[in-house]
Amino acid sequence: MRHIKNLATTINLYLKEQLDNNDKHLVYFAKNNISIDNISYLGKGEYSKTYKVSTNKGDYAINIRDEMVGDYSALIGEYYNHLPEVYDVSMVDGKYCVVMEVLLPISDNEKNIIDCIDYLFYTNDEDGLDVWLEDNLHNDLYLKIEELVSETNINKISEKQYTSKLQWFYNEYNNYESFIDDILSSFKEYNQVLGFNYVDFHGDNLMRDKYGDVKLIDL
């Protein structure tokens, strides 16, 4: 156990050293007289890495990105129901550096809900949830899911690895109506704020803030 703890400490120190060696990533904190206590690694996506920065004024996240479709700087100083709070956006050595609120993953069950919804769209000759939402932001996603459920016979699906997952989904999706509504609301808000539709949606692109509110990320 001590070995694991020491290893985690070593990794955190190494990652902190990585950022310290290029303090331009941390310029926001220096400019605002915020003292950094610790930096830890939160994870990475295909084009980004995220760190948690603990300071004397609370916790922040730094997202270092190779590319950015939506403009995170449009969120600075604003509060939205389903988009993250952003405090600073800068370019550092050709990468975007976004300082934002710390967010937490949604539950595994909520990720399964998204996966099953997406599967139902594809198996009914739709092009996926995010594509459907491009032209249906003013329709009711929950009612569309009920329609797909009534039209899809689990016993006749070809991808048998989805059989048990869909059985669970059919029994449980009505308990996630508010979560499904949040998905639709997130896409609506993204469109309204950034001016175009969200694409490439999956369960890792929804998170929750410290209050439990759903936030759409990877803008």
Residue pLDDT, tens place only, 76-110:
999 999 999 999 999 888 888 999 999 999 999 99
Residue 1 pLDDT class (50, 70, 90 cuts): low
Sign of the dihedral defined by the CA atoms of residues 127, 124, 214, 42, in that order: negative
- Beta-carbon contacts of 159 under 8 Å, excluding residues fewer than 6 positions away, are 119, 123
Q: Are residues 58 and 115 in the same domain?
A: no
Q: In what order do the strands lie in the sheet with 206-208?
A: 104-105, 206-208, 214-216
Q: Are residues 179 and 198 in the same domain?
A: yes
End-to-end Cα, the chain, rounded Å? 38
Quote the pTM value: 0.83
User: Which CATH number do you get for residue 65?
Assistant: 3.30.200.20
Last residue of a domain, one of 102, 132, 166: 102
- With H, G, I as helix, E, B as strand and everything else as coil, classify residue 196: coil
> In total, how many domains does the chain have?
2
- Please state, in angstroms and rounded to a whole number, the distance separating the CA atoms of residues 107 and 185: 19
State which residues form the domain around 27. Answer: 2-102
Residue pLDDT, tens place only, 5-62:
444 444 444 444 455 534 678 889 989 999 999 988 888 877 888 999 999 999 999 9
